[in-house]
Structure formats: C-alpha cells, structure tokens
Structure 1
Amino acid sequence: MDSEAHSEQAIVAALTHIIAHELDVRIPEQDIDPKLPLLEGGLMLDSMVLFELIAKIEERYAVSFPTEDLRTEYFANLEVLAGHVAAMRGSKS
C-alpha cells in the first residue's frame, strides 16, 4: 500500500471519528460507511453540520477550504472528501 492511500485511509478514519463523536449528529461510528453519501440519500448531514465538519478539518489538518472551492462533489462521501483533504495537504508542501 502506498503512503498516499494509507494517508487517505487515515483521514477517512479521522473524519469518521469526528462525525460520530464531535458533531451534533447521532450516528454511531460503526454505522458510517466511507462510501455513503454525506448529504442526500446517505448520512443526511445538513449545511450547519457540514460547515462544522469543514471547520474541524481545517483545524486538524491546517488546510483551508476557500469559498470558491466548496464544491458539492468534494463532499460526495468520506473517501472523496479524504482524497481532497490529502490533495490540499500535499499542495502545501
């Protein structure tokens, strides 16, 4: 397994923990599938929870989601979001 894939898996695990334990949602960690949509038809995170998640990602990973970069496709599911976070982290180095 390459380090990029490992890094994305670690980010998925961290995001899963954040959603289950740090956001105002009642979703047990074991019920969060990384392929499940974050918005409609999946975890059903609303905009307030999504913005809270973004703030926690920015704080934890020292990245920034510029307003023009808040595309819904980045929030398709945890795997896609983790890939975007990993890419943002990689572009900082």
Structure 2
Amino acid sequence: MTDLVVANIGLVVAYDTATDDPHTDEIHAFWYGHITELLSEARPDDDAERLARLLLGTLGGDLVLHLIQSGQAARLKAAIRQLVDSVLRC
C-alpha cells in the first residue's frame, strides 16, 4: 500500500482534493475493509476496525506528501513498516 501511495502521490493528492470526504469513497472503503480483515486474522482479540483506520491514516496528510516530495520515500516506507510490525507483534 505504501509503495502504491509513493508511486502515485500526484494522483493521491488530486483524488483527496477532489473528493468531499475521502473516508467515505469506494477506494478508501476497499482498503479499509482489506486492512481490517488482515488485522482481524492476525490480532483477533483487538479492535481491528480502529487499528485499520489508524494505520490507513498514516498514508495521508502533509507529512507523507513532504517526505515523498523531498526524496525521503524510503524513510517513509521504513517508518510505516516499523509501525505495522509493532502492531502485529503486540
């Protein structure tokens, strides 16, 4: 997912700008559902829905755009990987 965002940051920004509420669109719903399902399998005793929303939220916002545009995509990917790994290890 992070690779997809990094490779298509221009489209991501344009889509977020053009969408009234990106959290209610079909693309967001697909990824949210997919991540929720994976988390439910990996961590059945946790609140997969909340964790999915929090993890998906890390791929949006000004910091992500800044890191990608300033040539720090590898740093972004590493940080998100660490975050996901820490959620899955608990």
Shorter-normalised TM-score: what interval?
0.3 to 0.5
TM normalised by structure 1 equals 0.34
Select the structure that is richer in helix.
Answer: 2
Q: RCO greater where, 1 or 2, for CA within 8 Å and sep 6 or more?
A: 1
